[in-house]
Amino acid sequence: MNRTLWNALRKSKRAAEDVLYPVFLARGTRPWSLGYQTHKRREIVRAVREGLFRGGDLAPGYGLHLDERVVEYPWFLSRLPAGPGRLLDAGSVLNHKFLLDLPELREKTITIATLQPEAEAFWHRGVSYAFTDLRDTCFKDACFDWVVCVSTLEHIGLDNAFLYSQRQKDKEAAPDTYLLAVRELRRVVRSGGTLFLSVPFGRYANHGWFQVFDKQMLDRVIDVFAPSAHTAAFFRYSVDGWSPAHAEELKDATCFDIHTSRRLDPDLAASARGLACIELIR
């Protein structure tokens, strides 16, 4: 599809989402219905502005019916140091205007690593794009102060032609190669720099285009990165929304996949029910 037409369609859908947002709220905030993306953006921005992830518990009902981005973005931004620096977005999770407008990111020199050109790009704002495999990137050693890899590692080595690429070579079945990406991200972050990482966490499952990490896989990530220090935060989705949890409480957590099942589960989970957020300092 012509990129100009694609961008026009995206803007049209976004406008419809905004217009129908009151209807979405009135109907009970059903996941993935029209208005969902507007609701999620507003909740993320609110959480960042109010500093909800800077300590303490989340209020009951936080992120109800929303996917894990409502946790991942505020968690990451609450830990990202202020001021200028070089930030690698490994997976193109920050390539959204509402995020780039946040003060936490305005002073950063951002490079986005992704498989193929994005439908919407922000080069005019100084954002750089590199089309590269995270297992073997084009970057020099220790060239970034921070790397963020939000809900990306679980796709490494799997069927990325399902949603993220039009190339058949990106349709893979090599689930263990996520460790190659961990080694590569360690290589490109400077000594004392930080990798901010999040993955769906719980009972292991391979959905073909992503996998749910279990404790053993997460331990491998930490061992391969060999951090000088690290912290881990875990979160659980329930009928009361998102809340902090312990890793052992999530051992049976599963994911709802909107792309393979159109019928929502009774808890109205939008995606992951368990989430691991790891801060690894080289």
**Contact between 65 and 268 (Cβ < 8 Å):** yes
pLDDT for 5: 46
80-281 CATH pick, 3.30.930.10, 2.60.40.1260, 3.40.1180.10, 3.40.50.150: 3.40.50.150
Task: With a cut of 80, say whether residue 14 has pLDDT above it.
Answer: no
Q: What is the pTM of this model?
A: 0.93
Where in the chain are the domains? 80-281
Q: Output b/e per residue, 11-41; b: 16+ Cβ within 10 A.
A: eeeeeebeebbeebeeeebebebbbbebbbb
Residue 48 is which amino acid? V
Q: pLDDT tens digits for 198-257?
A: 999 999 999 999 999 999 999 999 999 999 999 999 999 999 999 999 999 999 999 999
